[in-house]
Structure 1
């Protein structure tokens, strides 16, 4: 997948979100923060985990937070999942690490940290390292049918 796939998904699924085209690379929260001039805690990151039986799990946290695999384990009542390698992330989601959007990834169990839900609007991966996605956390929850649970350390 790429940015075009994400744009098509947003239109097809009726997602209320906007894709931001960036001049520089925005492959990390720090880079995105510099590029947009927003504080790092305004951003989210979508981390790809692999659970039992190769289950795909997306953990969405604020850009300044870290994910706890133990908290994911408790939330889903499974053995602790492992963070996907960059190659696995592309294979499983179609997106490179740093560009993974919080929406448009089928068959993923989505866990959204409550700190994310406390925000009105967030900016996250937009499908490539030159795009960002502006979206409300409530829209992420609605579209993904995710679960709000603490996954940050």
Structure 2
């Protein structure tokens, strides 16, 4: 974030932020302010990242329709590490190559918390900045 002059704050906690409940508790935030980065892989091996609010789930069929592709599969923990450089449970919503899809519900908040690079950290960032830096397409992808 510092190298690329990204206006965001990283927080490191004593307890894990692996689940939405843990993240909301650690950040003293509402689950609506927590976002998940769901990593998917298309038939060509490309990474697609579905960004949804913590309480929502990604619809692979909506992702397929939005990108006009065959239904992608959920990435394995090994694929997530390989494609993002982060372990499952701490993946940020930016900072690596991929196709980023942001559900419109995410954009209802000015600020959100996303993975901070480890299961013990979160990054607080403006939704507008997030969309700008990951070149995210705003499209309904939640179930």
| TM-score of the superposed pair, with normalisation by structure 2 | 0.96
Q: Quick check: 36-45 or 114-123, which moved more?
A: 36-45
Aligned to 2:32: 41
The structure richer in helix per residue is: 1
- Which 5+ residue runs of structure 2 have no aligned equivalent? none
Q: Does 1:115 align with 2:114?
A: no
CA-to-aligned-CA distance 1:8-65 (integer Å, 9 cap, x gap): xx11222111101111111111111122222211100001000121011000000000
Match runs of 1:21-100 below 5 Å:
21-100=12-91
Aligned to 1:136: 126
CA distance in 2, matches of 1:104, 1:145: 11
CA distance in 2, matches of 1:39, 1:71: 26
Aligned to 1:6: none
Q: CA RMSD in A?
A: 0.9
CA distance in 2, matches of 1:61, 1:18: 20
